[in-house]
Amino acid sequence: MRKQASGQDLTDRPLHALVGVVRMPKLDHSPMHAIIWRIVGAALAVMLTSFVVYFDREGYSNSLDTPLTYLDCLYYATVSLSTTGYGDIAPLSQFARATNIFLITPLRVMFFILLIGTTLEVLTETSRQAWRIQRWRERVRNHTVVVGYGTKGRTAVDAMIGDGIPASDIVVVDTESAVLEGASARGLVTVHGSATRADVLRLAGAPHARSIIIATNRDDASVLATLTAREIAPRAKIIASIRESENTHLLKQSGADSVVVSSETAGRLLGIATTTPTVVEMIEDLLTPELGFAIAERAVTDEEIGSSPRSLKNIVLGVVRAGKLHRADEDIAMIEAGDRVLYLRHAHREAKRVSEKQDSR
Last residue of a domain, one of 249, 265, 281: 265
Instruction: Give the C-alpha distances (Å, rounded to integers) separating 82 from 61, 85, 102, 114, 307.
Output: 20, 8, 17, 11, 80
162 within a domain of the structure (yes/no): yes
133 within a domain of the structure (yes/no): no
Extended beta strands in 187-346, E state: 189-192, 211-214, 237-242, 258-261, 293-299, 316-321, 324-327, 340-346
Last residue of a domain, one of 101, 117, 133: 117
**Rg for the chain, CA atoms, rounded:** 31
What are φ and ψ of residue 30, in 5° steps?
A: -80, 130
320 and 249, same domain (yes or no): no
d(CA 26, CA 167): 13
pLDDT at position 353, please? 53
Contacts of 9 (CB under 8 A, 6+ apart): 199, 202
233 and 308, same domain (yes or no): no
245 and 154, same domain (yes or no): yes
Instruction: Identify the sign of the CA torsion 101, 107, 113, 116.
Output: negative
Identify the CATH number of the domain in which residue 78 sits: 1.10.287.70
127 within a domain of the structure (yes/no): no
Question: In terms of residue numbers, what domain contains 225?
Answer: 141-265
d(CA 87, CA 80): 9
260 and 329, same domain (yes or no): no
pLDDT at position 121, please? 63
pTM (predicted TM-score): 0.61
Check: CB of residue 168 under 8 Å from CB of residue 187. yes
d(CA 94, CA 13): 55
Q: Give the total number of structural domains in the chain.
A: 3
22 within a domain of the structure (yes/no): no
d(CA 39, CA 18): 34
90 within a domain of the structure (yes/no): yes
157 and 252, same domain (yes or no): yes
Identify the CATH number of the domain in which residue 341 sits: 3.30.70.1450
82 and 189, same domain (yes or no): no
pLDDT at position 233, please? 94
Sheet with strand 258-261: strands edge to edge: 22-23, 189-192, 170-174, 144-147, 211-214, 237-242, 258-261
Identify the CATH number of the domain in which residue 168 sits: 3.40.50.720
83 and 167, same domain (yes or no): no
d(CA 357, CA 350): 11
16 within a domain of the structure (yes/no): no
283 within a domain of the structure (yes/no): no
Phi-psi region of 11 (alpha: psi -120 to 50; beta: other; left: phi over 0): alpha
Amino acid at 351: A
176 and 255, same domain (yes or no): yes
252 and 314, same domain (yes or no): no
Last residue of a domain, one of 52, 84, 117: 117
126 within a domain of the structure (yes/no): no
Amino acid at 102: F
pLDDT at position 255, please? 93
Per-residue pLDDT 10s for the chain (361 aa) are 444 444 567 777 776 677 768 877 766 555 566 667 777 888 888 899 889 889 988 888 887 778 888 998 988 888 888 877 778 888 888 888 888 888 888 888 887 777 666 556 655 666 777 778 888 888 889 999 999 999 889 988 988 887 788 998 999 999 998 999 989 888 899 999 999 999 999 999 999 999 999 999 899 999 999 999 999 999 999 999 988 888 899 999 999 999 988 777 777 777 888 888 888 788 777 776 666 777 788 899 998 888 888 888 888 888 888 878 888 766 778 888 999 988 887 765 555 554 554 455 5
pLDDT at position 252, please? 92
244 and 170, same domain (yes or no): yes
220 and 336, same domain (yes or no): no
pLDDT at position 27, please? 60
102 and 164, same domain (yes or no): no
